[in-house]
Amino acid sequence: MSLGLLDLFVIGATAFTSAAVFWGLLFLTKKPDGSSQSSSQNHLKKVSFLLEAEAVIDATPQAIALLGLPPHKDLSRSDIIAVLENTFPTLSDELAQCQDKPIIVNACDGTSAWLELRPANGRIQLCLGAIEGTVETAAIDIREANEDAELLTLREMVNHAPVLMWRSDPTGRLVWANDAYLTANDACSDILGVTPTLPSSPLFKELEDVPAFGNSVCRTSLKVRNDDAPRWYEVSTVKTDTGAAQFAINVDPIVRAELAQRKFMQTLSQTFAQLSIGLAIFDRRRQLATFNPALFDMTGLPIEFLSARPTLDAFLDHLRELRMLPEPKDYATWREQFMALEAESKIGGYSESWNLPDGQTFQVTGRPYPDGAFALLFEDISAEISLTRRFRSEIETSQAVMDKIEDAIVVFSNGGNLVLSNEAYNTLWDGTSNVGFGQCDLRGELSKWQERCTPSRIWTNLREFTTQMGLRKPWTDTAILDDGRWISCHADPISGGMTMVRFRFPSSPSATVQKLTQVDPALNVMKR
């Protein structure tokens, strides 16, 4: 039976398709060096990533498992490079250059793995292949290589860490220690040289009392050979059923700082103890942190109460009970005032005088301290207040006495400032008794006197007398007022280089005035 044209065409097409499939399979199973292998042993789609820019937009489950990252984490190009760079160190550069044609990247660590980078429409498909074995085996080799590299890195870091690290079994026998521990052990040993093996005795003998299980932290010291000062360490212990892992950090700077702070506080306490000013320091929680004996002497607060570190509210309440606070009209106002006291003390703005019911007067000042703390300073100013009141009373009495004197009196300091004047002076020369010290001077008063009197050298002489240095004798002279009255001026030196000037109207005219006003006897004879 003869074949038709259609049959021949079908046979030819079938043969061509079979040949195409055969050569396609042969190409896909080629190794990077040109040899071929079975497609069942190497399938590029098993471990594959699809990258777009820096993001990974798709990946096979085997590829995600190779990275060892959480399944819901957004993957990026850096995650792939971090996992594969130990086996393919040039991967980052190859990805940057992969733009037009596929690139094959071979492993550098001797494994059979290789990578194919295939660009397509701005994306890069990264596939893992294996020359020998399966792709799964290649992925396992890559993970093991990463674990070995990580383990080597961790060992180097632990051995070269400045922190002392060691591990012991449940019996307390040392089973491992890093270089810092061995170096410290050599420094504390009485035998010179380097210990060739792990020491038999523990370096920190005080750690036998740590709890059996769990975490604990303690501070201990080591005596170093040929060193007077011990080395202090803070040791952290983690105990489990299999033994204990311990870590020791050198805390010499912290210990020195704490010692310096302790000495400083002792010095401050000794200094505060000698102060006559009561001191109460409150921390940021408003609790009494420090006080000195003067506070107890001034306020009468019990030592037991102060040592119990009361709060500011309790401190003030106790002062009120002892009548050591100014009593307000109502308790609410009193409480509001001391809430303001706390706020103002923290910014250094509180300073008030407390007039106590028993007649005492305290000057209370608030001073801020770091970290929200503040101090209250109690100074007994009762003596100063009493002295001030007495001086004020004496001054008022002296002023009242001077105001009763008929003579006009004014006092100038050695610098020429008006210090004191009486009512008669202010009435005569149109002055005021409310002028403060230093606001009027001799020059201004001389101008006032000259305007009210006829021209005379008396004022020049008075100025020279007032400014004269050394020993001075009382001086007196007379002048004529613009209303024709005669007035005498007396200048007397007083203590402190000051000068008292006194004006008075004479009870009888002077001899010259009397002679001018008397009738000549010769004229009387002529009249007869």
* Sign of the four-CA dihedral 22, 27, 28, 31: positive
pLDDT digits 0-9 by tens, 247-294:
999 999 999 999 998 888 788 778 888 888 999 988 888 899 889 989
Q: In 3D, which of 297, 262, 265 has the Cα closest to residue 279?
A: 297
Domain ranges in the chain?
Answer: 28-153, 161-254, 275-380, 400-514
Confidence of residue 509 (pLDDT cuts 50, 70, 90): low
pLDDT digits 0-9 by tens, 69-122:
776 778 888 888 888 888 888 888 888 888 888 888 888 876 778 888 988 888
Query: What residues are paired with 59 via a beta bridge?
Result: 49
**37 vs 131, 136, 206, 449, 516, CA distance in Å?**
8, 16, 66, 131, 157
Q: Which amino acid is at 364?
A: V
**More confident of the two residues 343 and 324:** 324
Does the structure show a pLDDT above 80 at 9? no
The whole-number pLDDT of residue 432 equals 63
The whole-number pLDDT of residue 253 equals 92
The whole-number pLDDT of residue 362 equals 92
Query: Are both 161-254 and 400-514 of the same fold?
Result: yes
**What DSSP state is assigned to residue 143?**
H
The whole-number pLDDT of residue 499 equals 92
CATH topology of domain 275-380: Beta-Lactamase (3.30.450)
Identify the three-state secondary structure at position 98. Answer: coil
* Residues written for the chain: 528
Token pair belonging to 458: 């008396």
**More confident of the two residues 135 and 525:** 135
The whole-number pLDDT of residue 308 equals 92
Q: What is the maximum alpha-carbon separation in the chain?
A: 209
Q: At what angle do helices 77-84 and 135-160 cross, to 10 degrees?
A: 80
Three-state SS string across 247-300, please? EEEECHHHHHHHHHHHHHHHHHHHHHHHCCCEEEEECCCCEEEEECHHHHHHHC
- Residue 177 exposed, middle or buried by CB count within 10 Å (0-12, 13-18, 19+): buried
The whole-number pLDDT of residue 304 equals 92
Q: How many CB atoms lie within 10 A of CB 444?
A: 12
- Dihedral over alpha carbons 144, 147, 153, 154 (to 10 degrees): -140
pLDDT digits 0-9 by tens, 28-54:
333 444 443 333 334 445 788 898 888
Q: Which stretch of DSSP H or E encloses residue 52?
A: strand 48-52
Lowest mean pLDDT among 217-231, 437-451, 491-505, 508-522: 508-522
- Dihedral over alpha carbons 291, 297, 303, 309 (to 10 degrees): -30
- Residue 294 exposed, middle or buried by CB count within 10 Å (0-12, 13-18, 19+): buried
d(Cα 87, Cα 107) in Å, to the nearest integer? 5
Burial state string for 238-250 with b = 16 or more CB within 10 A and e = fewer than 16: ebeeebbebbbeb
Confidence of residue 242 (pLDDT cuts 50, 70, 90): confident
Mean pLDDT of 397-411: 90
d(Cα 177, Cα 198) in Å, to the nearest integer? 7
Q: In 3D, which of 82, 133, 62, 145 has the Cα closest to residue 108?
A: 145
Confidence of residue 355 (pLDDT cuts 50, 70, 90): confident
d(Cα 435, Cα 425) in Å, to the nearest integer? 13
- φ/ψ of residue 500, rounded to 5: -105, 125
CATH topology of domain 161-254: Beta-Lactamase (3.30.450)
Confidence of residue 18 (pLDDT cuts 50, 70, 90): very low
Does the structure show a pLDDT above 90 at 219? no
d(Cα 229, Cα 414) in Å, to the nearest integer? 67
Burial state string for 121-158 with b = 16 or more CB within 10 A and e = fewer than 16: eeebbbbbbbbebebeebbebbeebbeeeeeeeeeeee
The whole-number pLDDT of residue 272 equals 81
Q: Are strands 214-222 and 361-368 parallel, antiparallel or unpaired?
A: unpaired
Q: Which CATH architecture has domain 28-153?
A: 2-Layer Sandwich (3.30)
The whole-number pLDDT of residue 113 equals 82
Q: Which amino acid is at 133?
A: G
Confidence of residue 11 (pLDDT cuts 50, 70, 90): very low
The whole-number pLDDT of residue 100 equals 82
Q: Which CATH architecture has domain 400-514?
A: 2-Layer Sandwich (3.30)
Strand boundaries in 163-213, DSSP class E:
164-168, 174-177
The whole-number pLDDT of residue 23 equals 34
What percent of the chain lies above the pLDDT cut of 70?
78
Lowest mean pLDDT among 86-90, 196-200, 278-282, 398-402: 196-200
Does the structure show a pLDDT above 70 at 211? no
Mean pLDDT of 301-322: 89
Does the structure show a pLDDT above 60 at 26? no
